[in-house]
Amino acid sequence: MQRRRFFAQALAGTAAVASAAVGRHALAGLPEPVIRTTPDTAGPWTPPGVTGAGRPYRPVVTLNGWTLPFRLKDGVKEFHLVAEPVVREFAPGFAVNLWGYNGSSPGPTLEVVEGDRVRIYVTNRLPEHTTIHWHGQRLPNGMDGVGGLNQPQIPPGKTFVYEFVARRPGTFMYHPHADEMVQMAMGMMGFWVTHPKDRHPWIADVDRDYCFLLNAFDVTPGARTPNVNTMLDFNIWAWNSRVFPGIDPLVARLGERVRVRIGNLTMTNHPIHIHGIEFEVTGTDGGPTRPESRWMEVTADIAVGQMRQLEFIADEEGDWAMHCHKSHHTMGAMGHGVPTMIGVDHRGLVQRIQRVVPDYMVMGERGMADMGEMEMPLPDNTFPMMTGTGPYGPIEMGGMFTTLKVRHDQPPGDYRDPGWYRQPPGTQAYPVAADQAPAAPSAPTPPASAHGAHTAPASPAPAHGTHAAPRAPFDARKPHGGHHGHHH
């Protein structure tokens, strides 16, 4: 059923590829490129009647992505990647002009078996040259894809062929090694999975095998094209070029073994945190980890250019948050010049300003949680800073966030969203009446003039002497308290 759905999607999204740069006749001997432009998660794909060089495998599911079908020709698996401009919907109402492969960014996942000989045609329909580097693979030097070093770059309108044997099983990715900063800032990347051809002592059979790439963009709110010269200050934190609530959930049946393969092609690290379960890192882009080297984690830091395989038993039912633990990576695009307003009382002021500036809003005087439900006027093409609505209200998350949905009645192999979890009665946090809560004493108020190092204490000293002492270390940290001299 999943496969049928995929083919329906593939057929619906398949366009006869023709352009001025590469005529159909020029591609006559090549496998027809398969194009898919929808951002929903395609079901697992296995080639009909072909299992590759090894035993049957459990296909991966690419989060908000898809696996590229191949053509088997004389025992070689032939793929056709087309590098081209695409439009990617990051979340409903937010579409961005990117560069990608075969209609999508990231490009489709390439999925093969250890020992397979693969031949990959790469057609360049970008306005500039490109290459593809096969991150992590063992291959002949001339197939490694570093433009200028291993090969001449692929000019616009031309097709190059890469051919090698997928020598070791594992988790890999592909991306250009030509004008790399620009081309990766525009979304050119994809996943690669090589399944083991025999039973491997360090590679478990899993019931579900998910994969996605971490990526980041700098898109000015309201704009449609990323700024490509940004080096560090990105504002869109995405998984497979999707942002919450545009990222699909990972679903599992209670008790299943689940693998999540993640690669980081951003310019910073991402500590990926999964609620509700513990996992082991069972592999990197260097291969499977030795079982005796593994330990339990709930957060795995994935550094720049690294890949990690997280594996766990989904043995707790519920809707579990799964997200990057850098809190600004679970936010949408925002202005950075917003001052901290917690504790500032604006009562009365807003109405007065709104007479002059009708859209005026105060941000954050009680924290930023209000942002999750505010109807802020947004530019036409962006997404709210904190959004996504759960069964109990705004989730107050954007960017690198989704959920792991574990259900006892999720059918095996069914990847459909089961909806929100209903907690059994008596298992959810609940409010109590004020007279039923234990007394909650307030923290003592600090002396009013604690920062006035040069003036005499103005507040009356507390009766018990223990409160006088903490003033000294506070004063000592003041850089302009010259008479302490600790920084000379």
Residue placing its CB nearer to Cu ion in the complex, 35 or 247: 247
* Of residues 12 and 304, the one with the C-beta less far from Cu ion: 304
Helix (H, G, I), strand (E, B) or coil at 27: helix
Q: What is the DSSP string of 262-287?
A: EEE-SSS-EEEEESSS-EEEEEETTE
Residue among 122, 10, 116 nearest 66 (CA): 10
For Cu ion, give the closer residue by CB, 329 or 407.
Answer: 329
Write down the least CB distance from residue 236 to Cu ion, Å: 12
Among 81, 132, 238, 324, binds Cu ion (CB under 5 A): 324
Residues 186-225 that bind Cu ion (CB under 5 A): none
Answer for the pair 29, 42: CB distance below 8 angstroms, yes or no.
no
Is position 329 an interface residue for Cu ion (rule: CB under 5 A)?
A: yes
Beta strands in 278-436 (DSSP E): 279-284, 287-288, 296-297, 299-302, 307-313, 318-324, 387-390, 393-397, 401-407
Shortest Cβ distance from residue 333 to Cu ion (Å)?
15
State which residue, 64 or 123, has the beta carbon closest to Cu ion: 64
Task: Report the residue from 326, 416, 471, 484 that binds Cu ion according to the rule CB under 5 A.
Answer: 326
**Site track 219-258 with Cu ion (rule: CB under 5 A), x = hit:** ----------------------------------------
For tokens 């057929």, the residue is: 11
Tell me: does residue 184 bind Cu ion (CB under 5 A).
no
Residue 323 in the binding site for Cu ion (CB under 5 A): no
Classify 311 as helix, strand or coil: strand
Residues 262-301 that bind Cu ion (CB under 5 A): 270
CA 9 – CA 158 distance, rounded (Å)? 28
Smallest gap from Cβ 479 to Cu ion, in A, equals 32
Which CB atom, from 82 or from 400, has the smaller least distance to Cu ion? Answer: 400
**Count, residues in the chain:** 488
Closer by beta carbon to Cu ion, 252 or else 302: 302
> At closest approach, how far in Å is the CB of 321 from Cu ion?
14
Give min distance, CB of 331 to Cu ion, in A: 10
Task: State which residue, 139 or 216, has the beta carbon closest to Cu ion.
Answer: 216
| Residue 365 C-beta: closest distance to Cu ion, Å | 27
Q: How far is CA 100 from the centre of its chain?
A: 16
Q: 234: Cβ–Cβ under 8 A, 6 or more apart, which residues? A: 216, 217, 218, 266, 267
Intra-chain end-to-end CA distance of the chain, in Å? 73
Task: Indicate the residue among 123 and 240 with the shorter CB distance to Cu ion.
Answer: 240
- Taking the complex as a whole, the smallest distance from the CB of residue 26 to Cu ion amounts, in Å, to 42
Q: How far is the CB of 324 from Cu ion (least distance, A)?
A: 3
Q: What residues form DSSP beta bridges with 97?
A: 87
Q: Which stretch binds Cu ion (CB under 5 A): 242-250, 316-324, 404-412, 454-462?
A: 316-324
Whole-number Å distance between alpha carbons of 207 and 204: 10
Contact range with Cu ion by CB under 5 A, out of 98-106, 226-234, 327-335, 358-366: 327-335
Cβ burial of 223 (10 Å; 0-12, 13-18, 19+) is middle
Shortest Å, Cβ 245 to Cu ion: 17
Could you tell me which of 423, 211, 188, 446 has the C-alpha nearest to residue 320? 423
Binding residues vs Cu ion (CB under 5 A) = 270, 324, 326, 329
